């Protein structure tokens, strides 16, 4: 098989080959339930990190309230599977519930997009923070869905293969978005918002699309999270959760999908590994919670762009955007112009 | 047929009158320069035309259509492009992306096409890539397409800014001190570039410039601003001999 | 009628504490245009310094003059908290002064959570709520149906005194003038011989010691726990934004407004709606008047 073939189909083949493993490995106990759980968390965290990276890393806006979007997705999806959908149809309607959660979160994202027209930077950070707090407060005051006690009764619908599929969908959509006209608009807002408008970018449109898309993804992750834990309460979605997302984004690398995957994976593994280590040496588990903020501080001081900041793995770049493809285009253009006068 | 029509344009910042009673009519194909000392309100005029500021008073029309109250990106899409006094490239992005961003309003596909990679996306994206590379090729920068724009030498960054402006397909190009910070050889090359793009892209050009060599060399008509007011207007020869101009502006350099 | 007078008094008491903490947010923002999200947790740490010192002091010297004990605790808390704030500033914020503004904000968020989680995990502190020993004997006076306690009087009076003092410092002294100068222009002022680094550290120290006054006073009236940095801190932060962040008098006004929101929300709504009301107020304000009540608008250079 030649290189062209692998370039085009290699990644898809690998992803297809892994898929049966995500069903079979947990099914036949080849990986134990704990590993299965950690893998699912990694997947959910990848979705969350991609979501936050779109806003904070690519667009250069600043959200510290993404746990709010996650909460909306989690609650909406859970309410649907527990109250509305017949139990037997649960597994089949699960994607519908997740999508509904994502859409609900997306609508909330629309609400955050509007203040971002006028304010940015730390002021927008406060807006998103207030949003996060309000969501939590509203959930605590809605007794019908459990109030501060939380909501339960969901079946364990979040399987490894579902997480796998949603991670692929997320990364695929995000990649398509980032490497498009809209994605370039997003980048231009990060670089220089005023110049962006002055080269014809409709900055409001870009902000709305990005916030809605990002919130949608966070909502999906929330739904998956809820159907893994089978229990959610408003305290699961505080600023602490948002901070975890920030750590993953700035650890892996801003403005990078590869970085998001890396950041989520490393962070999840480190936090879980720490659990075992602390247990072994007999230190209280509460010290785990000190690690994430400490990582965030050190990252900001020593490596503010993260491991993969502003760079991308080759396999995540669309084929036509890779260097050799651009070279080909360049040659064609040069040839077709022939002797036409060019500026020297 | 007037391309750009500006009537009694005024703008205040707080109590400060940055621009006062500014009038201008541009015919298609003209190359007009605005000169004046620092703080005379020249860049403010550009910001008013492109919708960054909303004028306190006055009218701005492009091809008879009112521009005031429109957002910058709408005004740009109607055929006005500009460069900046201090370079404002998208620094961390590649040369190619800098130019492609300027295709935003003409991308020709929706977010759904993009998210799902529908055929319309692929087709239009190929076109945008080709057009951008062609433009870069014209400017002799196609080989730099993947370079990060902040790594380009200064003169190249200036050229890229012009290329990026042209990618929006303007009929009117506003150049804000394009020769700032250039050495004499670069200035010479810039003057050729400006005249060349005017011919090749059928542009009307409005230019702010401090370097008299550029202004006197290529402008057909000159407006002189001082403290927000127009103090003189005419051909380069007329301006050079105008006593008010010599006092307000050229006098500075002569002294 | 008595009910409303009573509640107003309570609102003044809570509002004073909010105002004292809000001052720290606003001073740092004024000088560095940086939101020091860790400030609420610095306040939390100050209450623990007051707790440990006063417990030790009264343990060693039972029967100490209450005023002496109170003043000693206050001073130690102020000094210890100021030291903590300066260390944080030097280690975590200073390296980021030339970085994008948002990096410092994220770091501050990290520092705040670090302090909180550290105090939870740190055995001598732990998550359980605690009481400060009674520094001042709590005596309740009944004036025409309104209950006034000595502690309430001390809180309101000491807060007022500190605020007046700060206002004088900022408006009348060389240090205050230097602070205001730096807030206008960070790049020119150093050229005029103002020791910017020292003034910035001093601002953090001053803000933290005022928070420590608030912390000690708060600890005298309520229980303390490691999570109150978030609970009280965010409210104080909203106070600063409501008053106009960067504006010292605004922070005082904001503190009292939030004090009234806290006390009077339960009159009209279930008390669990307090956070909802406060953050909605913040959101509405940010959208319609981002500069707060007394803040100056931000200019944008094109």
Domains for chain C: give ranges and CATH numbers. Answer: 2-288 (1.10.3470)
* Dihedrals phi, psi of B153, to nearest 5 degrees: -65, 160
Is this model's pTM higher than 0.90 or not? yes
Q: Which residues of A touch C118 (CB under 8 A)?
A: 290
pLDDT band at C300 (very low <50, low <70, confident <90, very high): very low
Distance from the Cα of A148 to chain B's closest Cα (Å) equals: 38
Q: Higher model confidence: residue A119 or residue B18?
A: B18
Question: Is residue C55 classed as helix, strand or coil in its secondary structure?
Answer: helix
Is B143 inside any structural domain? no
Q: Which residues of A touch B102 (CB under 8 A)?
A: 199-200
Bridge partners (DSSP) of residue B208 are B34, B176
Tokens of C225: 């726990």
Is B139 inside any structural domain? no
For chain A, say whether C131 makes contact (Cβ under 8 Å). no
For chain B, say whether A88 makes contact (Cβ under 8 Å). no
Is B72 inside any structural domain? yes
For CA atoms C41, C44, C48, C49, the dihedral sign is: positive
Adjacency order of strands within the sheet including B221-226: B80-82, B172-176, B204-208, B31-35, B221-226, B229-234
Distance from the Cα of B240 to chain A's closest Cα (Å) equals: 31
pLDDT tens digit string along B106-155? 999 999 999 999 999 999 999 999 999 999 999 999 999 999 999 999 98
Q: Which residues of B touch C302 (CB under 8 A)?
A: 43, 47, 52-53
Burial category of A119 from C-beta neighbours within 10 Å (exposed 0-12, middle 13-18, buried 19 and up): middle
Q: Where are the domains of chain A?
A: 35-238
| Measured CA distances, A315 to A9, A175, A252, A318, A320 (Å) | 11, 11, 17, 8, 12
| Measured CA distances, A156 to A20, A87, A90, A146, A190 (Å) | 20, 12, 10, 19, 40
- Whether C187 shows a pLDDT value over 80: the answer reads no
Tell if the CB–CB gap between A297 and C234 is shorter than 8 Å: no
Q: Which residues of C touch B53 (CB under 8 A)?
A: 302
**Residue tagged 């623990």 (tokens):** C48
| Measured CA distances, C74 to C26, C65, C84 (Å) | 22, 14, 15
Is B12 inside any structural domain? yes
CATH number at residue B53: 3.40.50.300
Is B25 inside any structural domain? yes
Give the A:C interface size as CB pairs under 8 Å: 116
- Nearest chain A residue to B128 by CA distance is A181
Residue B230's domain comprises 4-79+170-254
Tell if the CB–CB gap between A199 and B165 is shorter than 8 Å: yes
**Calpha distance A85→B15 (Å, rounded):** 64
For CA atoms C206, C208, C211, C217, the dihedral sign is: negative
- Nearest chain C residue to B52 by CA distance is C302
For chain B, say whether A41 makes contact (Cβ under 8 Å). no
Query: At how many degrees (to 10) do helices A203-229 and A181-191 cross?
Result: 100
Total tally of structural domains belonging to chain B: 1
How confident is the model at residue A342, as a pLDDT?
A: 54
- Among residues C46, C209, C39, the alpha carbon closest in space to that of C107 is found at C39
pLDDT tens digit string along B72-104? 999 999 999 999 999 999 999 999 999 999 999
Please, are residues A70 and A225 in contact by the beta-carbon 8 Å criterion?
A: yes
Q: Rg of the Cα trace of chain A?
A: 22
How confident is the model at residue A344, as a pLDDT?
A: 53
Query: Strands A231-232, A151-152: parallel, antiparallel or unpaired by DSSP?
Result: antiparallel
SS3 string, C76-107, reads: HHHHHHHHHHHHHHHHHHHHHCCCCHHHHHHH
What is the full per-residue pLDDT of chain A (344 aa) written as tens digits? Answer: 577 788 888 899 999 999 999 999 988 888 899 999 999 999 999 999 999 999 999 999 989 999 999 999 999 999 999 998 887 777 889 999 999 999 999 999 998 898 888 777 778 888 899 999 999 999 999 999 999 999 998 999 999 999 999 999 999 999 999 999 999 999 999 999 999 999 999 999 999 999 999 999 999 999 999 999 999 999 999 988 998 999 999 999 999 999 999 999 999 999 999 999 999 998 888 899 898 899 989 999 998 888 898 899 989 999 889 988 898 888 888 787 654 455 55
Nearest to A192 among B88, B96, B196 (CB): B88
Cα separation of the two ends of chain B: 42
Question: Is residue A56 classed as helix, strand or coil in its secondary structure?
Answer: helix
Is B187 inside any structural domain? yes
* Dihedrals phi, psi of B241, to nearest 5 degrees: -100, 5
């Amino acid at each position: 098989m030649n290189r062209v073939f692998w370039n085009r189909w290699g990644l898809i083949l690998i992803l297809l080959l892994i898929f049966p493993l995500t069903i079979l490995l947990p099914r036949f106990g080849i990986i134990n339930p704990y590993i299965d759980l950690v893998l699912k968390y990694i997947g959910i965290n990848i979705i969350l990190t991609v979501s936050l990276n779109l806003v904070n890393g690519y667009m250069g806006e600043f959200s510290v309230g993404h746990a709010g979007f996650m909460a909306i997705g989690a609650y909406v999806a859970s309410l649907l599977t527990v109250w509305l959908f017949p139990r037997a149809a649960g597994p089949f309607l699960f994607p519908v519930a997740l999508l509904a959660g994502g859409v609900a979160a997306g609508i909330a994202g629309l609400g955050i997009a509007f203040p971002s027209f006028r304010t940015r930077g730390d002021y927008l950070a406060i807006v998103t923070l207030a949003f996060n707090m309000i969501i939590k407060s509203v959930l605590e005051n809605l007794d019908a869905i459990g109030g501060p006690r939380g909501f339960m009764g969901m079946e364990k619908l979040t399987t490894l293969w579902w997480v796998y599929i949603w991670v692929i969908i997320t990364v695929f959509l995000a990649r398509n978005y980032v490497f498009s006209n809209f994605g370039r608009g997003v980048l231009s807002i990060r670089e220089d918002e005023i110049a962006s408008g002055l080269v014809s970018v409709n900055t409001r449109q870009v902000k709305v699309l990005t916030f809605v898309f990002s919130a949608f993804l966070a909502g999906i992750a929330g739904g998956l999270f809820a159907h893994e834990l089978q229990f959610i309460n408003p305290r699961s979605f505080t600023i602490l959760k948002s901070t975890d997302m920030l750590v993953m984004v700035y650890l892996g690398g801003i403005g990078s999908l590869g970085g998001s995957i890396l950041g989520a994976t490393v962070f999840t593994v480190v936090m879980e590994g720490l659990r075992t280590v602390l247990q072994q040496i007999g230190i209280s588990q509460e010290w785990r919670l000190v690690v994430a903020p400490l990582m965030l501080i050190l990252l900001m001081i020593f490596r503010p762009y993260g491991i993969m900041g502003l760079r991308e793995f080759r396999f995540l770049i669309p084929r036509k955007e890779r260097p050799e493809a651009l070279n080909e285009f360049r040659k064609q253009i040069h040839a077709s112009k022939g002797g036409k006068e060019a500026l020297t | 047929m007037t391309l750009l029509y500006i009537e009694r344009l005024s703008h205040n910042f707080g109590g400060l009158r940055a621009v006062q009673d500014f009038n201008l009519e541009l015919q298609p194909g003209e190359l007009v320069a605005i000169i004046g000392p620092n703080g005379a309100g020249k860049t403010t005029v550009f910001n008013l035309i492109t919708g960054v500021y909303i004028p306190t008073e006055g009218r701005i029309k492009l091809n008879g259509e009112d521009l005031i109250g429109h957002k910058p990106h709408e005004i740009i899409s109607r055929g006005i492009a500009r460069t900046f006094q201090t370079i404002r490239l998208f620094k961390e992005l590649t040369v190619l992306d800098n130019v492609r961003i300027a295709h935003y309003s003409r991308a020709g596909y929706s977010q759904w096409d993009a998210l799902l990679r529908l055929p319309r996306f692929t087709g239009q994206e190929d076109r945008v890539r080709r057009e951008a590379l062609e433009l870069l090729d014209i400017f002799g920068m196609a080989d730099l397409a993947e370079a990060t724009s902040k790594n380009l030498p200064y003169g190249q960054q200036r050229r890229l800014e012009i290329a990026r402006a042209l990618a929006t397909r303007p009929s009117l190009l506003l150049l804000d001190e394009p020769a700032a910070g250039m050495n004499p050889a670069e200035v010479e090359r810039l003057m050729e570039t400006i005249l060349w793009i005017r011919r090749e892209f059928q542009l009307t050009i409005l230019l702010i410039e401090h370097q008299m060599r550029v202004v006197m060399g290529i402008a057909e008509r000159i407006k002189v601003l001082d403290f927000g007011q127009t103090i003189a207007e005419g051909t380069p020869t007329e301006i050079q001999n105008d006593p008010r101009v010599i006092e307000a502006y050229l006098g500075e350099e002569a002294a | 009628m008595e009910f409303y007078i009573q509640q107003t008094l309570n609102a003044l008491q809570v509002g004073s504490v909010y105002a004292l903490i809000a001052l720290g947010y606003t001073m740092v923002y004024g000088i560095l245009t940086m939101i020091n999200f860790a400030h609420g947790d610095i306040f939390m740490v100050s209450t623990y310094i007051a707790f440990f010192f006063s417990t030790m002091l009264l343990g060693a010297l039972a029967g100490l003059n209450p005023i002496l004990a109170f003043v000693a605790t206050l001073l130690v808390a102020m000094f210890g908290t100021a030291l903590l704030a300066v260390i944080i500033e030097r280690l975590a914020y200073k390296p980021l002064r030339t970085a994008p503004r948002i990096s410092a904000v994220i770091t501050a968020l990290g520092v705040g959570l670090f302090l909180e989680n550290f105090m939870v995990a740190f055995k001598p502190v732990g998550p359980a709520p605690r009481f400060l020993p009674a520094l001042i004997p709590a005596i309740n006076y009944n004036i025409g149906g309104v209950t006034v306690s000595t502690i309430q009087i001390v809180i309101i009076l000491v807060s007022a005194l500190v605020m007046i003092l700060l206002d004088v410092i900022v408006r009348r002294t060389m240090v205050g003038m230097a602070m205001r100068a730096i807030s206008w222009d960070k790049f020119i002022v150093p050229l005029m011989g103002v020791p910017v680094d020292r003034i910035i550290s001093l601002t953090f120290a001053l803000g933290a010691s005022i928070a420590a006054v608030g912390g000690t006073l708060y600890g005298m009236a309520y229980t303390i726990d490691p999570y109150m940095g978030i609970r009280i801190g965010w409210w104080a932060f909203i106070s600063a934004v409501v008053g106009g962040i960067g504006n010292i008098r605004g922070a005082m006004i904001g503190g009292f407004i939030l004090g009234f929101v806290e006390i009077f929300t339960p009159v009209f709504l279930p008390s669990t709606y307090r956070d909802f009301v406060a953050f909605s107020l913040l959101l509405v304000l940010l959208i319609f008047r981002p500069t707060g009540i007394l803040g100056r608008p931000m200019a944008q250079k094109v």
